[in-house]
Homo-oligomer: A and B are copies of this chain.
């Protein structure tokens, strides 16, 4: 199995942008691998959100634990990760386009002028806490203004995004939002995170994609129903049955420190059993590299 797993690095994302002449070819073939190769992206979300997230993910990018990540431009620690991106242009960093602000004690709002994107803001002037509220209130023209502003700001800071995805999936919540997302992505010549295994969730996903859009085979992300003590086994099991094609494992890295505990303490879905403080989506598994890093031991699974 080890031989058939190929860690797809930044070159993968760049290669996606080169349109194939032969649509019947799989992504693996277009990347020069056998048709049934098993390609794996390990992707860390939420860069820029917090210092803890930045430091943990930068460490994981350095050790190779993850080979891709995406950045939340509206968040307060953006400048820190932008400095990393400028110093590490080889790093496969996309933009985690952000239209929600989900931690009740720790908030952020739009990059664009608030009066231009008022439909995206809650009564306190921040993005909505929930992706469903964001999607329900969003004026799609304002969504386009804001996500373009996020892309432009990232580039102005020297980030060269390799792909786009959507924090909390807000941009996949409706056909209208997904169309805006794809339109912006095509205009910027950037692939979006979209996977064949998501197609059953909503008809408009496959219907909106065109022949030139690139999508991967599956995204694997852990649900809140998997208890933290089972996370390592979950990933290990999933990877043992990995199928041919491109799989993206989406994870969230951070240290289990005061800052993260302060942000995530009351998240309803991601509490950690046996602890007073929940750490949302940021599971603790020991790492040989740094036992304080919250991660899953992917490299140890083979």
A: which residues have CB within 8 A of B?
A: 50-52, 54-55, 76-80, 83, 104-108, 111-116, 123-125, 153, 156-157, 255, 257-259, 262-263
**Across the interface, which residues of B come within 8 angstroms of A115, CB to CB?**
113, 115-116
**Across the interface, which residues of B come within 8 angstroms of A156, CB to CB?**
123-124
Q: Which of B52, B80, B114 contacts A105 (CB 8 A)?
A: B80
Report whether A55 and B262 are in contact in the complex, using a CB–CB cutoff of 8 Å.
Answer: yes
Closest B residue to A292 using CB positions: B258
Report whether B108 and A51 are in contact in the complex, using a CB–CB cutoff of 8 Å.
Answer: no
Could you tell me the distance between the alpha carbons of A106 and B77 in the complex, rounded to whole angstroms?
A: 5
Given A51-B262, A55-B258, A259-B52, does the pair A107, B124 have CB atoms closer than 8 Å?
Answer: no
Could you tell me the distance between the alpha carbons of A78 and B105 in the complex, rounded to whole angstroms?
A: 7
**Across the interface, which residues of B come within 8 angstroms of A124, CB to CB?**
79, 153, 156-157
Report whether A113 and B114 are in contact in the complex, using a CB–CB cutoff of 8 Å.
Answer: yes
Determine which residue in A54, A104, A111, A258 has the highest number of CB atoms from chain B within 10 A of its CB, and name it.
A258
Closest B residue to A126 using CB positions: B79
Q: How many copies does the complex hold?
A: 2
**Across the interface, which residues of B come within 8 angstroms of A153, CB to CB?**
124-125
Report whether B51 and A106 are in contact in the complex, using a CB–CB cutoff of 8 Å.
Answer: yes
Could you tell me the distance between the alpha carbons of A90 and B292 in the complex, rounded to whole angstroms?
A: 39
Q: Which of B108, B113, B258 contacts A52 (CB 8 A)?
A: B258
Report whether A51 and B259 are in contact in the complex, using a CB–CB cutoff of 8 Å.
Answer: yes
Report whether A76 and B259 are in contact in the complex, using a CB–CB cutoff of 8 Å.
Answer: no
Q: Which of B50, B106, B255, B259 contacts A79 (CB 8 A)?
A: B106
Could you tell me the distance between the alpha carbons of A123 and B82 in the complex, rounded to whole angstroms?
A: 15
Q: Which of B50, B78, B262 contacts A107 (CB 8 A)?
A: B78
**Across the interface, which residues of B come within 8 angstroms of A106, CB to CB?**
51, 76-77, 79-80
Report whether B108 and A76 are in contact in the complex, using a CB–CB cutoff of 8 Å.
Answer: yes
Q: How far is the CB of A130 from chain B (nearest CB, A)?
A: 15
Sample 22 A-B pairs with CB under 8 A, ordered by A number: A51-B105, A51-B106, A51-B259, A51-B263, A52-B258, A52-B259, A54-B262, A55-B258, A76-B108, A79-B104, A79-B107, A80-B105, A80-B262, A83-B105, A113-B113, A113-B115, A113-B116, A115-B115, A123-B156, A124-B156, A124-B157, A258-B259
